[in-house]
């Protein structure tokens, strides 16, 4: 089929974007985004909420559950996600199931997470055709401080080395299960001071399990200055060693934290000098992946309309199938439905990252989402703008 006969994707079609939400759900989303549009309120609210929940103040947890949690998470457990999974399936949007626990500390917790991922999350993906990808953070399987030492090249004590090997074994246990069941697993990128360790472990897993199909995905953060050579080197290594390179492309979620640490510890910030440089590298990475689509599997994980537009142009210009099995687009659940639902309708492989877990365990994730959706310089945030547009459209429709 020629490029011209492919349906045009209209990202401003809010009717398609929000068809899966009824009026009352949409109004609730509007109220929530209106609240988090206020930067000062978010700064105060996130500090207070984290404190109140850790102090066990019960009504705060309930309030979080029925507001921000409901917007950005699927449920407190896998069963709780079922309604969302089925609803999104009706619109051709797939699920990347993400067990959202973070910042674990003790070996027993890492072990429990690994068992849960294998016996519950991978299992769910096997049983449910709409869940074909799962995701995990390495810091939920290996202790953060240990990964920091490994990343810095610090020599481990015998005890630490044994602990590290147990951590790597947990990652392998998970990847092997994903491989045995033909389920893809996305490993998130995290802070730059543990990322060398993540890259090393995930690359080892890729070399092992990506021989026939892309099972293990690493993540590349293009808000870092050094990631284009890193992407290309990863690809060359995979090509030379005969396995499929698989990456999720993101801009990156820890920009302030990265800059603050670099300043505090007086080293050069790894972050791009400005947003334009970050966007340019993101686009370059995307083009590189499309150019090598037969050998690279990738996910365009973004809420940026231009990046999605670019992907569409690149694929269509080369007359590559929009649902090529090596190419996915992903957004976070609760965000950028105008991209997800319009692209899914136009035939692209689209999946929503669906985090789940007990409310108090997913607080760090919810804080990142609140911060990401506050207004910059007094403007309406992107989500709020889209939702109000759709509410106005529906109101106009009922008035006619």
Ligand X SMILES: Cc1cc2nc3c(=O)[nH]c(=O)nc-3n(C[C@H](O)[C@H](O)[C@H](O)COP(=O)(O)OP(=O)(O)OC[C@H]3O[C@@H](n4cnc5c(N)ncnc54)[C@H](O)[C@@H]3O)c2cc1C
Q: Can you give the binding site for ligand X, defined by CB under 6 A?
A: 188-189, 219, 221, 223, 250-255, 271-272, 274-275, 278, 301-304, 330-332, 353
Residue 371 sits at the vertex; the CA angle it makes with 63 and 45, to the nearest 5 degrees, is: 40
Residue 109: half-sphere exposure toward Cβ, Cα within 13 Å:
13
Which lies closer to ligand X via its Cβ, residue 134 or residue 278?
278
Number of H helices, E strands in the chain: 18, 8
Which lies closer to ligand X via its Cβ, residue 60 or residue 73?
73
Evaluate the CA torsion angle 185, 190, 196, 197 in order and state its sign: negative
Which lies closer to ligand X via its Cβ, residue 60 or residue 297?
297
**Partner residues linked to 216 by β-bridges:** 185
CB of residue 307 to ligand X, shortest distance in Å: 6
Residue 20 sits at the vertex; the CA angle it makes with 18 and 26, to the nearest 5 degrees, is: 55
**Cα distance from N-terminal residue to C-terminal residue, the chain:** 40
Element (H, E) at 219: strand 216-221
Separation CA 33–CA 369 (nearest Å):
11
CB of residue 24 to ligand X, shortest distance in Å: 26
CB of residue 62 to ligand X, shortest distance in Å: 27
Which lies closer to ligand X via its Cβ, residue 14 or residue 272?
272
CB of residue 378 to ligand X, shortest distance in Å: 17
Which lies closer to ligand X via its Cβ, residue 37 or residue 221?
221
CB of residue 130 to ligand X, shortest distance in Å: 16
Which lies closer to ligand X via its Cβ, residue 31 or residue 259?
259
Residue 318 neighbours by CB distance under 10 Å: 11
Residue count of the chain, please give it: 400
CB of residue 221 to ligand X, shortest distance in Å: 5
- Angle of helix 23-36 versus helix 382-399 axis, rounded to 10: 150
Which lies closer to ligand X via its Cβ, residue 75 or residue 330?
330
In 3-state terms, what secondary structure has residue 250?
strand
Separation CA 231–CA 383 (nearest Å):
31
Instruction: Return phi, psi of residue 136, to 5°.
Output: -155, 155
CB of residue 336 to ligand X, shortest distance in Å: 7
Element (H, E) at 330: strand 327-332
Separation CA 365–CA 69 (nearest Å):
10
CB of residue 102 to ligand X, shortest distance in Å: 12
Which distant-in-sequence residues (6+ apart) come within 8 Å of 272 by Cβ?
A: 222, 223, 224, 225, 278, 281
CB of residue 98 to ligand X, shortest distance in Å: 9
In 3-state terms, what secondary structure has residue 23?
helix
Which lies closer to ligand X via its Cβ, residue 146 or residue 278?
278
Which lies closer to ligand X via its Cβ, residue 278 or residue 315?
278
């Amino acid at each position: 089929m020629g490029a011209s006969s492919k349906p045009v994707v209209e990202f401003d079609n809010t009717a398609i974007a929000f068809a899966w939400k009824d009026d009352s759900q949409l109004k609730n989303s509007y109220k929530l985004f209106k609240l988090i549009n206020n930067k000062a309120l978010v700064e105060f609210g996130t500090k207070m909420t984290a404190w109140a929940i850790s102090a066990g103040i019960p009504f705060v947890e309930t309030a979080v559950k029925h507001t921000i949690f409901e917007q950005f998470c699927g449920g407190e457990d896998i069963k709780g996600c079922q309604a969302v999974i089925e609803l999104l399936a009706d619109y051709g949007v797939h699920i990347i199931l993400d067990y959202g626990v973070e910042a674990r500390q003790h070996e027993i917790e890492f072990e429990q997470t690994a068992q849960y991922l294998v016996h519950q999350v991978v299992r769910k993906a096997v049983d449910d055709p709409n869940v074909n990808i799962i995701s995990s953070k390495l810091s939920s399987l290996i202790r953060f401080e240990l990964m920091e030492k490994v990343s810095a090249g610090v020599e481990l004590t015998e005890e630490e080395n044994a602990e590290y090997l147990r951590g790597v074994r947990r990652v392998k246990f998970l990847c092997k299960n994903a491989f045995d069941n033909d389920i893809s697993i996305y490993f998130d990128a995290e802070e730059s001071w543990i990322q060398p360790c993540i890259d090393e472990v995930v690359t080892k897993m890729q070399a092992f399990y990506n021989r026939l199909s892309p099972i293990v995905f690493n993540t590349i953060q293009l808000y870092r200055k050094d990631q284009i050579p890193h992407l290309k080197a990863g690809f060359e290594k995979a090509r030379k060693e005969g396995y499929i390179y698989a990456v999720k492309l993101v801009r990156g979620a820890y920009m302030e934290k990265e800059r603050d640490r670099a300043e505090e510890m007086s080293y050069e910030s790894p972050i791009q000098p400005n947003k334009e440089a970050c966007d340019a590298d993101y686009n370059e990475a995307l083009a590189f992946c499309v150019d090598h689509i037969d050998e690279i599997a990738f996910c365009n994980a973004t809420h940026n309309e231009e990046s999605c537009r670019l992907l569409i142009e690149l694929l269509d210009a080369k007359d590559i199938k929009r649902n090529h099995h090596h190419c996915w687009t992903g957004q976070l659940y609760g965000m950028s439905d105008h991209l997800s639902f319009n692209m899914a309708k136009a035939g692209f492989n689209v999946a929503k990252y669906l985090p789940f877990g007990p409310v108090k365990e997913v607080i760090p994730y919810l804080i990142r989402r609140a911060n990401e959706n506050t207004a910059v310089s007094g403007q309406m945030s992107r989500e709020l703008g889209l939702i109000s547009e759709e509410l106005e459209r529906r109101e106009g429709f009922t008035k006619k």
